[in-house]
């Protein structure tokens, strides 16, 4: 049990529980502007391609391709602009939980609609 007065010198002593391997800790990483520029460029290219591809007849796959490109763009934004690639395990787990819950929302709602014989599907 640390004594009260030792707490004030806490910052000068390496704490065994706050190393980079801890799930709530990560090294303070500054992403370079060049990375941002490259990722931004990729996003603009993907935007142009999704608009261009929508004019090509791919039948059912138009929607699939459009959503796939959107997912790629979102992934780039999350990993680099939102720094998740350089974040702690806690942050990464939180983001993953968000996507998982969203998928549950969509799939469980859809199983309800698809399994009822309303003549729509």
> Which residues fall within 8 angstroms of residue 88, CB to CB, at 6 or more apart?
22, 23, 24, 25, 26
- Pair 69, 46: CB distance under 8 Å: yes
- Between 21 and 101, CB nearer to other proteins: 101
Torsion of CA 37, 76, 41, 49, to 10 degrees: 180
**Residue 102 engages other proteins in binding (rule: CB under 8 A):** yes
Neighbours of 21 (CB within 10 A): 8
Q: Which of residues 53-92 bind other proteins (CB under 8 A)?
A: 54-58, 62-63, 66-67, 69-70, 73-74, 77-78, 80-83, 87-88, 90-91
Q: Is 48 helix (H, G, I), strand (E, B) or coil?
A: helix
Instruction: Please tell me the count of residues contacting other proteins according to CB under 8 A.
Output: 62
Which spans of this chain sit near other proteins (rule: CB under 8 A)? 5, 8-11, 15, 18, 24-26, 28, 30-33, 36-37, 39-40, 43-44, 47-48, 50-51, 54-58, 62-63, 66-67, 69-70, 73-74, 77-78, 80-83, 87-88, 90-91, 94-95, 97-99, 101-102, 105-106, 109-110, 113, 120-121
């Amino acid at each position: 049990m640390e004594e009260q007065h030792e707490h004030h010198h806490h910052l000068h002593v390496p704490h065994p529980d706050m190393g980079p391997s801890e799930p709530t800790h990560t090294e303070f990483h500054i992403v370079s502007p060049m990375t941002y520029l490259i990722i931004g460029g990729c996003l603009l290219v993907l935007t142009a391609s999704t608009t261009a591809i929508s004019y090509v007849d791919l039948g059912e796959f138009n929607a699939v391709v459009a959503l796939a490109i959107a997912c790629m763009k979102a992934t780039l934004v999350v990993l680099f602009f939102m720094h998740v690639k350089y974040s702690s395990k806690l942050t990464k787990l939180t983001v993953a939980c968000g996507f998982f819950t969203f998928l549950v929302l969509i799939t469980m709602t859809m199983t309800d609609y698809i399994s009822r014989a309303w003549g729509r599907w």
